[in-house]
């Protein structure tokens, strides 16, 4: 099967780099998004997300004449769906006292519906959006059947999870191993051929539901392991231990690899995807459920740590450094750092946040500083929430000359406590109640 033209539905962090990469490898791509502003931005030759290397790749895709953006799909050899699958904002499920979040599949439904008028015999449809188990079979197949064509017989249908790391998406798209789950072996084979266009990592064929489970298992594994690290940070705090020291010692065991605690788990994937498994089978997922709860409540533990450092928070001025959900990205979705700021404000603190990757973000009730200097100038305390490289590189001596703050709280173990102390600061870290200051 030869793929000459594809439609990529959803042009966000996954869809746009994917579309750009296909275009760079000789395929004609129509990128589709329902957001008119995004389409206009792209058709002006600009991009709407921050991802290293993407601007250059996108500009050359446009210049090659192989990329265009539109609000509706058109006929193509293959359709890739990369639309969001968040959880529902106000609806919850419950089972035996567990209250859990529910997947919001509306974008997948409408993306699949948008393909129906253009689907032809011999096409391939690939769902890339992270989805609950059996979505491809139980949700997508019936929608595409409205075309009058039968999935697996008249056209190919596959699920292929995306596991790229924001910040390194363009490299990882090409180098990572990719799983392709077909609803038939022929569908998996068609997916294999499509992604062979550029994937240099291994491409492994399986069935669609296994591929869906693989993605959810990967992120759930991370979430559960971060939860235990976060729980250790709380225990260390209670027992006068420095969790960072304890973890580094425990990890000397050849078969132990404890992850880092932090202010919580955010982003569009790890804090969301485990809920898909809980929703699908709450009676089978108590560990996954409780891990989610631990990570979702970790911002409260950060607030406790700030209180330990500052006493009452009422009227205290805090400079919050970083609102992204992880280092060196501009993605603020589900960010635990933003949750920490809201909780501090709830306790009466006056918080100024500085997020270098998105200084103008509209963060619903959070005061965004235009620069670092503004955030720290009149602060009582500097609270580090994200391990951005540029924060890591800050010099305590220089900061001392720019701030009234005397107290540092590091929630990500990014800074050398001794360097800050020798520049006149008190230094606190989460999960460390051992050292004199912390
Ligand atoms: N961002 C990541 O690092 C990452 C990694 C792995 C998997 N994923 C998964 O990939 C999927 C996409 O994530 P993302 O981060 O690219 O999302 P995103 O929000 O950045 O982009 C999705 C785009 O889809 C558009 N859209 C929504 N409904 C549409 C429709 N019916 N038709 C056309 N466009 C539509 C939105 O306007 C948006 O521009 C999600 O399921 C996510 O869980 C994301």
pLDDT digit string, tens, across residues 18-44: 999 999 999 999 999 999 999 999 999
Task: Establish whether residue 129 lines the binding site of ligand 1, counting it when its CB lies within 6 angstroms of any ligand atom.
Answer: yes
Which entry of 215, 316, 326, 352 is annotated as an active-site residue? Answer: 215
* Longest pairwise C-alpha distance within the chain: 73
| pLDDT reported for residue 331 | 87
Q: What is the dihedral of CA 233, 235, 239, 244, to 10 degrees?
A: -20
pTM given for the model = 0.92
Task: Establish whether residue 107 lines the binding site of ligand 1, counting it when its CB lies within 6 angstroms of any ligand atom.
Answer: yes
The vertex-361 CA angle with 376 and 16, nearest 5°, equals 130
Cα 27 vs. chain centroid, distance in angstroms? 28
| pLDDT reported for residue 434 | 86
Residue owning the nearest CA to atom 7 of ligand 1: 162
| pLDDT reported for residue 436 | 67
**Atom of ligand 1 at shortest range from CA of 129:** 41
Q: What is the pLDDT of residues 279-315, one digit of tens each?
A: 999 999 999 999 999 999 999 999 999 999 999 999 9
Active site residue 7: no
| pLDDT reported for residue 203 | 98
Alpha helices by DSSP H, listed for 258-285, are 273-280
Q: What is the pLDDT of residues 259-268, one digit of tens each?
A: 999 999 998 8
| pLDDT reported for residue 333 | 87
The C-alpha atoms of residue 130 and residue 84 are separated, in whole angstroms, by 8
Can you list the residues of the chain whose pLDDT is less than 50? none
The vertex-121 CA angle with 119 and 125, nearest 5°, equals 50
Count of C-beta atoms within a 10 Å radius of residue 407: 20
The C-alpha atoms of residue 186 and residue 202 are separated, in whole angstroms, by 18
Active site residue 215: yes
Q: How far apart are the first and last CA of the chain?
A: 62
Residue owning the nearest CA to atom 1 of ligand 1: 13
The C-alpha atoms of residue 351 and residue 336 are separated, in whole angstroms, by 15
Please classify residue 345 by burial: count the beta carbons closer than 10 Å to its beta carbon, then call 0-12 exposed, 13-18 middle and 19+ buried: middle
Task: Establish whether residue 159 lines the binding site of ligand 1, counting it when its CB lies within 6 angstroms of any ligand atom.
Answer: no
CA of 406 to the centre of ligand 1 (A): 42
| Residue 339 contacts residue 299 (beta carbons within 8 Å) | yes
| Cβ-based neighbours of 97, under 8 Å, separated by 6 or more | none
CA of 147 to the centre of ligand 1 (A): 24
| Residue 71 contacts residue 30 (beta carbons within 8 Å) | no
Cα 136 vs. chain centroid, distance in angstroms? 22
């Amino acid at each position: 099967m030869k793929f000459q033209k594809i439609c990529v539905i959803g042009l966000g962090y996954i869809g746009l780099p994917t579309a750009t990469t296909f275009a760079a490898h000789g395929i004609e791509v129509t990128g589709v998004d329902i957001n008119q502003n995004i389409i206009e931005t792209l058709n002006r030759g600009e991009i709407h997300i921050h991802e290293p290397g993407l601007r250059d790749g996108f500009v050359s895709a446009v210049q090659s004449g192989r990329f265009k953006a539109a609000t509706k799909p058109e006929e193509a050899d293959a359709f890739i769906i990369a639309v969001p699958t968040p959880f529902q904002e106000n609806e919850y499920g419950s089972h035996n006292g567990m209250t859990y979040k529910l997947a919001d599949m509306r974008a997948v439904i409408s993306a699949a519906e948008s393909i129906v008028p253009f689907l032809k015999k011999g096409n391939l449809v690939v769902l890339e959006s992270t989805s609950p188990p059996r979505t491809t079979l139980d949700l997508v197949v019936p929608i595409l059947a409205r075309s009058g064509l039968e999935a697996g017989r008249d056209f190919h249908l596959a699920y292929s999870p995306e596991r790229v790391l924001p910040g390194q998406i363009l490299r990882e798209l090409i180098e990572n191993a990719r799983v392709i789950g077909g609803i038939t072996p022929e569908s998996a084979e068609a997916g294999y051929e499509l992604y062979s266009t550029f994937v240099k990592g291994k491409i492994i064929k399986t069935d669609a539901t296994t591929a869906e489970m693989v993605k959810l298992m990967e992120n759930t594994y991370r979430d559960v392991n971060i939860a235990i690290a976060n729980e250790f940070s709380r225990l260390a705090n209670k027992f006068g231990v420095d969790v960072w020291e304890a973890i580094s010692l425990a990890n000397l065991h050849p078969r132990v690899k404890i992850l880092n605690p932090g202010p919580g788990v955010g982003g569009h994937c790890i804090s969301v995807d485990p809920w898909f498994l809980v929703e699908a089978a709450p009676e089978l997922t108590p560990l996954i459920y409780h891990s989610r709860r631990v990570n979702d409540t970790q911002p409260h533990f950060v607030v406790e740590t700030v209180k330990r450092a500052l006493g009452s928070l009422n009227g205290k001025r805090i400079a919050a450094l970083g609102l992204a959900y992880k280092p060196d990205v501009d993605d603020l979705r589900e960010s635990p750092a933003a949750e920490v700021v809201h909780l501090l404000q709830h306790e009466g603190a006056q918080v100024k946040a500085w997020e270098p990757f998105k200084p103008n973000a509209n963060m619903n009730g959070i005061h965004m500083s235009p620069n670092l200097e503004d955030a720290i100038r009149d602060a009582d305390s500097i609270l580090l929430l994200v391990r951005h490289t540029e924060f890591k590189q800050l010099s305590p001596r220089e900061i001392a000359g720019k701030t009234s703050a005397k107290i540092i709280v590091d929630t990500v173990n990014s800074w050398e406590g001794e360097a800050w102390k020798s520049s006149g600061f008190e230094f606190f870290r989460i999960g460390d109640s051992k050292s004199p200051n912390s």
